[in-house]
Amino acid sequence: RIAYVNGQYVQHADAAVHIEDRGFQFADGVYEVCEVRAGMIVDLTRHLNRLDRSLSELRMAQPMSRAALTHVIREVLRRNHVKNGIFYMQVTRGAARRDHFFPAEGTPPTITITAKNTDPSVVAKKYANGIKVITLPENRWDRVDIKTVGLLPNVLAKQQARDAGAADAIYVDRNGIVMEGASSNVWIVTPQGELVTRPAEHGILRGITRTTVIDVAAKLGLKVVEREFKTEDMLNAREVFFSSATGICVPIVEIDGKTVANGHPGTISASIRDAFFDIAEKTAI
Ligand code: PMP
């Protein structure tokens, strides 16, 4: 496997950054994960737009032009022979002697890109029967709209889920409002047949898949409503599912040990998943 590190293509096993990288010391960095299907990068423009936004919210410079970045992404995918899989890209505020203040003007950012192959049929099989989740109190900072590498709460939430025999965790705020999953956005289909997801203005990451699911739903003639909902609304829903770049639409069949609907994945999430790649933006490698 080949990785890209600050201008070089290197063996993945040898890829390294400095111990005083601010990503390592302060989680002072941002990232994106993008899906690749049938030799096409999915929703690249939206992912690059969100990367730009994350960088500017943290007052970090763009590591390179969009054209150059797109070239490097393609090169990493090609060198790893990725036709189906993901790439991961991370930008940090660079390496500098440890000090909370921003490093001196002109300190180069650290940029790394890795890619790996995944088998779509294995992923499909993994989620075919839906997943179990637990709910947890929201305990993250209030800028989760920025896609930073500061994911310690998410790490702890996912592990807590695993320890409880579940696959993932959903954050719920102190008023009982559902926020998002530990690495995904949450959707319900109400008993009335509305497709609902919470507004993304604050409190959650605006998922790229979430945005594209809205497009897909419109094409399928499904009504999407952006409004808050509670845990009990999930338990009373016809369907509950996650959206994320890696899982697309993942059905949730059990929440805190309680069965959702009839305990089987629903048809709406299946139809969205089936139509997703036709409607998403596709960029050839
Ligand atoms: N929320 C969180 C906290 C996430 O980590 C992710 C996945 N990166 C998402 C939502 C879904 O975003 P996307 O659809 O862009 O993968």
- CATH number of the domain where residue 253 is located: 3.20.10.10
Which of 183, 202, 272 to mutate for ligand 1's pocket (most ligand atoms within 8 Å of CB)? 183
Does ligand 1 have an atom closer than 6 angstroms to the CB of 208?
yes
Which of 179, 185, 213 to mutate for ligand 1's pocket (most ligand atoms within 8 Å of CB)? 185
Q: Measured in angstroms, how far is the CA atom of residue 246 from the centroid of ligand 1?
A: 9
Domain boundary among 74, 98, 118: 118
Co-location of 101 and 174 in the same domain: no
ipTM of this model?
A: 0.99
The two three-digit tokens of residue 249, written as one number? 């639409």
254 confidence band (pLDDT: 50, 70, 90)? very high
pLDDT value at residue 257? 98
Residue 51 has phi, psi (to 5 degrees) of: -60, -45
Let me know if 147 is a catalytic residue.
Answer: yes
Co-location of 110 and 62 in the same domain: yes
Co-location of 12 and 152 in the same domain: no
Q: Measured in angstroms, how far is the CA atom of residue 245 from the centroid of ligand 1?
A: 7
Co-location of 101 and 170 in the same domain: no
Does ligand 1 have an atom closer than 6 angstroms to the CB of 180?
yes
Region 160-184: mean pLDDT is: 98
Region 89-98: mean pLDDT is: 98
Co-location of 149 and 49 in the same domain: no
CA distance 96 to 225: 46
pLDDT value at residue 164? 98
Domain count, the chain: 2
Which CATH number is 31's domain given? 3.30.470.10
How many C-beta atoms lie closer than 10 Å to residue 35's C-beta? 27
Domain range for 164 is 124-284
Co-location of 114 and 176 in the same domain: no
Name the average pLDDT for the chain. 97
Kindly report the protein residue whose alpha carbon is nearest to atom 12 of ligand 1.
207
Does ligand 1 have an atom closer than 6 angstroms to the CB of 198?
no
Domain boundary among 93, 118, 143: 118
Co-location of 113 and 137 in the same domain: no
Q: Measured in angstroms, how far is the CA atom of residue 38 from the centroid of ligand 1?
A: 22
pLDDT value at residue 225? 98
* % of the chain exceeding 90 in pLDDT: 99
Q: Which residue has the tokens 């696959």?
A: 167
User: 214, 207 in Cβ contact below 8 A?
Assistant: no
User: 34, 41 in Cβ contact below 8 A?
Assistant: yes
Does ligand 1 have an atom closer than 6 angstroms to the CB of 184?
yes
Q: What DSSP string describes 2-55? A: EEEETTEEEEGGG----TTBHHHHH--EEEEEEEEETTEEESHHHHHHHHHHHH
Co-location of 114 and 132 in the same domain: no
Co-location of 260 and 133 in the same domain: yes
pLDDT value at residue 227? 98
Co-location of 181 and 237 in the same domain: yes
Domain boundary among 70, 99, 118: 118
pLDDT value at residue 283? 98
pLDDT value at residue 54? 98
Report the chain's terminal Cα–Cα distance, integer Å. Answer: 17
- Strand ranges for 93-150 from DSSP E: 110-117, 131-137
Co-location of 232 and 139 in the same domain: yes
Ligand 1 atom nearest the C-alpha of 46 is: 15
Residue 120 has phi, psi (to 5 degrees) of: -55, -30
Co-location of 278 and 161 in the same domain: yes
